Amino acid sequence: MDLFIPSSKKLTAIFSPESDLNIPGDKSLSHRTALFSALASGESRITNFLDSGVTQVMLNSLSSLGVQWKFVDNILTVRGKGLYGFQTPVNSLYCGHSATTIRLMAGALAASGIAVTLDGSEGLRKRPMDRIVEPLRQLGVKISTAEQGTAPLVIQVRPAGQKLKGGLIELKQASAQVKTCILLAGLAAEETITIHEPGPSRDHTERLLKAMGADLQAEGLQVRLNPLEKDLLPLKMRLPGDISSAAFLIVAALITPNSEIIIEEVGLNPRRTGLLDVLQTMGADMQVTVTGENGGEPVGSVKVCSSELQGCMVEGDLVVRMIDEFPVFAVAAAFAKGETVVRDAQELRYKESDRIQVLCSELQKIGVDITEMEDGFVIQGSEYISGGTAESKGDHRLAMSLAVAGLASQNGVNIRGADMVSQSFPAFFEMLNRMGVEI
């Protein structure tokens, strides 16, 4: 689907769970709460669960494993099966475009001990799975991949009564998907498992598993988990709005003149708020207020007004704390004064697309001065970005970032493959419309 986003003069809106203008529930927490609830005993109830392409494949996979769930009015209820209660599915589990589904599922299935094949879309089959396969093998899981270390993943049945091994796992990447996969497998280990990661990846799993009664300690870059002795407790939780979805609207308001938006009840977990920190150092007129906690997750509001931004440098741990936000951050940098440099961001090459390469190719098409580096990119900001036609390249976050760029461009942006937004934020264009964009 092609969609044209015109240049806009003003955006205003208040996003709040009390109105019908609400930021959809957090994607990472939606995946985790659905899967962890299935592994618990008793009935869980998750409010503001994200209704999108990637969460639907997680729910479909749970159905194939014999899990009963209901999803009505954004409330998900799940009847837990316990750690060892999954049924062996008839066919392979189809994980669509969702790396979170395949990687988290692999950990849960390794714990459960059943035989299963995990597969996905052509795009998902290109994403690296060796990062979960190596540590899972270290724990004693019998798992194989396609030749390139990619999906399909085939997990063999574990003999009844046999546990997985524990020990120290050193992760090569700061990846919450990998960390979560190993922690889920570790629930069925015979001894303590300790994970050390090279950077501060998101810690939703640690917070949730603790809240569900797991014996887990997290300190700095290390997590220790003892084998599960009693079933995980069910969850009753309202999910915060997804800060990674809100990020598009925040940057839209910053770079479109005369704009002001308020976003309430959005997730403000410090391991997810790198973009907000960077935008503030760039001069963004933005107030971020933590108002409370839900299910162990900090929640609050963000108020943003149009601002003149200055270029900056992003590197090190900050990259990990804003790993999903680089496409829209690049758009903010494109409209900032001066140079912006992103380094240490090699991981971007392994996302829904090679995000360094496609960001450069597609932003150049609409007039952005961006140069590719091996581990990042350099942008020379400008007030005048012409606009034009560019492609989403099958990447939901690139589609939304191009739309945001269109708002502050001279002639608007025509997005090829705009329908990809349905993967994580189906109502995105409708929300822009409600903020005053004439789509």
Residues that bind ligand S3P (CB under 6 A): 28, 31, 100, 175-177, 180, 201-202, 323-324
Residue 113 C-beta: closest distance to ligand S3P, Å: 23
Give the span between the Cα atoms of 90 and 84, in whole angstroms: 17
324 is catalytic: yes
Q: Is the dihedral of CA 347, 353, 357, 360 positive or negative?
A: negative
Whether 407 and 336 have beta carbons less than 8 Å apart is answered as no
Based on CB atoms, which residue is closest to ligand S3P, 128 or 412?
A: 128
* C-alpha count within 13 angstroms, C-beta hemisphere, residue 338: 10
Based on CB atoms, which residue is closest to ligand S3P, 263 or 323?
A: 323
Based on CB atoms, which residue is closest to ligand S3P, 323 or 368?
A: 323
Quick one: which H or E segment has residue 377?
Answer: strand 376-380
Residue 105 C-beta: closest distance to ligand S3P, Å: 12
Q: Is the dihedral of CA 335, 336, 341, 343 positive or negative?
A: negative
| Cα–Cα–Cα angle for 162, 163, 164, rounded to 5 degrees | 130
Whether 402 and 392 have beta carbons less than 8 Å apart is answered as yes
CB count within 10 Å of CB 215 equals 15
Residue 292 C-beta: closest distance to ligand S3P, Å: 22
Residue nearest to ligand S3P (CB): 28
> Which residues are paired to 13 by β-bridges?
261
| Cα–Cα–Cα angle for 298, 300, 301, rounded to 5 degrees | 155
Give the span between the Cα atoms of 111 and 165, in whole angstroms: 11
Based on CB atoms, which residue is closest to ligand S3P, 59 or 255?
A: 59
Give the span between the Cα atoms of 353 and 77, in whole angstroms: 33
Phi-psi group of 303: left, alpha or beta (phi > 0 → left; psi -120 to 50 → alpha; rest → beta): beta
Based on CB atoms, which residue is closest to ligand S3P, 328 or 413?
A: 328
CB count within 10 Å of CB 173 equals 18
Residue 146 C-beta: closest distance to ligand S3P, Å: 19
Q: Which of 51, 203, 242, 324 is catalytic?
A: 324
Q: Which amino acid is at 352?
A: E
What are the φ/ψ torsions at residue 376 (nearest 5 degrees)? 165, -150
What are the φ/ψ torsions at residue 121 (nearest 5 degrees)? -65, 170
CB count within 10 Å of CB 160 equals 7
Residue 230 C-beta: closest distance to ligand S3P, Å: 26
Residue 437 C-beta: closest distance to ligand S3P, Å: 25
Residue 262 C-beta: closest distance to ligand S3P, Å: 25
Give the span between the Cα atoms of 146 and 148, in whole angstroms: 6
Based on CB atoms, which residue is closest to ligand S3P, 183 or 407?
A: 183
Based on CB atoms, which residue is closest to ligand S3P, 184 or 284?
A: 184
Catalytic residues: 324
